[in-house]
Structure 1
Amino acid sequence: MSGRRNILITVGFVLSISLISSALTAMMMFHYDSRLQFNLLNTVCGEVLEQDPQAEKIISAALKEYTGGNADGTARKDVLSVWGYRIADFSHSLHWTGDLAVAAGVLAGFCLLLVTLLYRNKKESMRIQGLAEYLEQANMGKAVILSTTGEDDFSKLEDEIYKTVTFLYQTKEAAVQAKNDFAENLSNIAHQIKTPITAISLSLQTMQRDNSNNKVEQIQKQLLRLSHLEEALLVLSRLDSGTLILQREEVDVFTVLVLASDNLQELLTATGTSVDIPELGGMAITVDLDWTMEAVMNLMKNCMEHNPGGTIHCAYEQNPLYTEIRIWDEGAGFLKEDMPYLFERFYRGRNAHEGGIGIGLALAKEILKRQNGTIRATNKQGAGACFEIRLYSH
């Protein structure tokens, strides 16, 4: 509310109280005046009767004619009361007019006071609603500069809210900038790695022509490892910077698992590992098919590396809250000391596969997290390592 509105509210309060006070004062004065008239007439009638007792009938008849009352006594000192007259009887013509005037004044005062209070409450409600809407816009990142609406009780609160929102925006921008810088640096590192990979690749081709098979095999392993590292770093940098856009669509869980297994078929065949994917009925999930398949492939690959020649088992179920996918092997399972760190980037456990870079599980977790999902690792009783994925519906 502006200063002008505050003045209007103050004037409304003053007028309301003034009207009510005036009406009550008028009522008191009216009754006081009526009592004076009654006492005066009482005194006059008493004096007349003392001088001429025979005038009683004349006075009584005159009073009855004036007021419509009935005489029922002959006392001399308080003649009018003895005769049955009251104060109101001598102000009969003004009585109802005065009462109506007083009632009208009081009613008008209360109405004006009520209107003033309602007006003030409405303005305060609008003010609170405006600040609440501003905070909602701030939460959605759409807040604009608060416009000045004048000095009132909410001005200090408005200033503090604006300062807080501005500080939060600045903090957010700084955090986003730091994140972008980190992602850019990570991307630069990945691109820098690409140069020696290319050089190694060219050297490998030269050595292949010279039939240096021993060294060729070693270089091929290192080259493959560097290639995987470069690809993983580029994906992680895109995830960190938010430039990796996930195209979510409705797909069947069975389809995701089968496609992931098919993409690993060459590795599975080479190690003699099989994948058991039962058909448990249609269960739709809303995810990015390619990247979710990538996450599942990393989990299957982990199971294959820790139990080559065995079987990778899959199971899935759905409820109103989430869809759960379980992938486990028949190996020795995870070491207790490794379990808290399994999904950390570049972490390689004691029994990690030779040539691994420690990014697969971290990448899988990040992809699932960005699709409203979670993942945890456990040791399945009587089996081996088990991964539990939950993709939430909301």
Structure 2
Amino acid sequence: MNSQKRTGLFLVFVLSVSLISVSVTAFFMADLYNRMQFRLLNNICESIIRELPEAEKTIPSVLKKFKNGQAADTRGTILTDYGYRQSDFAGYTRNYGLLSAAGGFLLGGILFLSAFWYRHKTEMLRIRALTDYLEHVNTGGTVLHLQEEEDDFSKLQDEIYKTVTFAYQTRDAALEAKQNFAENLSNIAHQLKTPITAIHLTTQMPELTAKPETAGQIRKQLERLTHLEEALLLLSRLDAGTLPLEQKEIDVFTVLTLAADNLQEVFSDAGVFIDIPERKAARLTGDLDWTMEAIMNLLKNSMEHTPAGGIVHCFYEQNPVYTQIVIRDEGEGFAKEDIPHLFERFFRGRNAKEGGIGIGLALAKEIIENQNGTICARNNPEGGACFDIRFYSH
């Protein structure tokens, strides 16, 4: 049964109920009118007999003729001649008629509103059932099969169920593809280990060590391959969700200091300084080692874009909602067209340093986001690039 037929049946039901209420009202009004007419005639007869006792014999015979339909239909105007009108004898009848009409209208209205309320309640229950179903799906629950009902929401229910089922299938396919991608990255990284080890051994041969320039170039490329292999392994673990991240309280100043200490030699070679002023104690919940790894990648990126003699500034603070860490440099800043892509894997911006593989910022972002954090990059109005990190409390 389609929705148009159901709507038509509902309207027919409401109309039927209304007609029944009108018919019942008309019946009661007719009965009431007859009773009022009988009472009025009885009062008139009693009054006549009281005033004229001799009329007691005449009145029954006249009434009998009217009862048997034998009385002539006289359309006289005796009451009018006496100065009376029809409304003069209909006072009570009118009041009872109006009361009956009001009762009938009220009864019809109640029945109509009851039918409308029942339909509305049924629709709200169906809407609530569909809403609860979607909430259950959105909170990660399993796909439940809704009870099939033939109503106006049947088609909507079918489409919702199809959409949810398709979404679950798409999610499962995406998770499987992500798992396969992580496994492929891991396999590639492991396959790189063998040739890198072999090349390391080769560089130690006498004929190569006699040529410092050649050996230096090979070692440089080996370091780059080693870093790529380590980064691929880390990315595969992040994608597969197998990277163990502890959830402990960490002092922010300690994290920044340890990260700076590990990069001290690199910063010294570049002639760049790190400024980490100690402020009011601030803490975040996360893994000390991996958070430090993410901070080191950001510090190194800032150092690479800061001219010799410049400073990389670190700032942190905490509020009830999140702990914020800001890292900014004194370089030329990011190219505007690069900002939306800075955290993409293997992306190298216009001002990227030669020799990089474009994976450090992506790793930092992955580690931070896996610890209930966010990171964004922007240019400072006064110059230089800036990374804004926020670790949320909840």
**Does the alignment reach a TM-score above 0.5?**
yes
Distance 1:86 1:340, change over 3 A: closer
| Structure 1 residue aligned with 2:313 | 313
Structure 2 CA distance, aligned partners of 1:333 and 1:97?
91
Distance 1:56 1:295, change over 3 A: same
Secondary structure in 2 matching 1:381: coil
The answer to whether structure 1 residue 284 and structure 2 residue 283 are counterparts is: yes
* Deviation (angstroms), 1:130: 0.2
**Equivalent pair of 1:27/1:98 in contact (CA under 8 Å):** no
Where does 1:318-357 land on structure 2 (aligned, <5 Å)?
318=318, 323-331=323-331, 333-334=333-334, 341-349=341-349, 352-357=352-357
TM-score (norm 1): 0.72
**Equivalent pair of 1:37/1:90 in contact (CA under 8 Å):** no
* Deviation (angstroms), 1:37: 7.0
**Equivalent pair of 2:29/2:97 in contact (CA under 8 Å):** no
Distance 1:334 1:116, change over 3 A: closer
**Deviates most, 22-31 or 276-285:** 22-31
* Deviation (angstroms), 1:103: 7.2
| Structure 2 residue aligned with 1:23 | 24
Structure 1 CA distance, aligned partners of 2:163 and 2:190?
40
* Deviation (angstroms), 1:151: 1.0
Secondary structure in 2 matching 1:376: strand
Number of equivalences:
365
**Deviates most, 120-129 or 298-307:** 298-307
What is the RMSD computed on CA atoms of the aligned residues?
4.7
* Deviation (angstroms), 1:232: 0.9
Structure 1 CA distance, aligned partners of 2:380 and 2:89?
103
**Equivalent pair of 1:23/1:106 in contact (CA under 8 Å):** no
Distance 1:142 1:341, change over 3 A: closer
| Structure 2 residue aligned with 1:168 | 167
| Structure 2 residue aligned with 1:366 | 366
Secondary structure in 1 matching 2:205: helix
Secondary structure in 1 matching 2:315: strand
**Equivalent pair of 1:187/1:237 in contact (CA under 8 Å):** yes
**Equivalent pair of 2:178/2:239 in contact (CA under 8 Å):** yes
**Equivalent pair of 1:15/1:109 in contact (CA under 8 Å):** no
**Equivalent pair of 2:330/2:385 in contact (CA under 8 Å):** no
Deviations 1:277-300 (A, max 9, x none): 101212333444333221210121
* Deviation (angstroms), 1:275: 2.1
Deviations 1:65-124 (A, max 9, x none): xxxxxxxxxxx73349948696896998x9999998887766655544444433332222
| Structure 2 residue aligned with 1:375 | 376
**Deviates most, 163-172 or 210-219:** 210-219
- Code of the aligned partner of 2:377: R
**Equivalent pair of 1:19/1:108 in contact (CA under 8 Å):** no
Identity %: 50
Deviations 1:272-331 (A, max 9, x none): 544221012123334443332212101212233344565432123455665443323445
* Deviation (angstroms), 1:372: 3.4
**Equivalent pair of 1:258/1:277 in contact (CA under 8 Å):** yes
Distance 1:133 1:381, change over 3 A: same
Where does 1:224-263 land on structure 2 (aligned, <5 Å)?
224-244=223-243, 246-263=245-262
**Equivalent pair of 2:316/2:323 in contact (CA under 8 Å):** yes
Q: Any stretches of 5+ residues in structure 1 without a counterpart?
A: 64-75
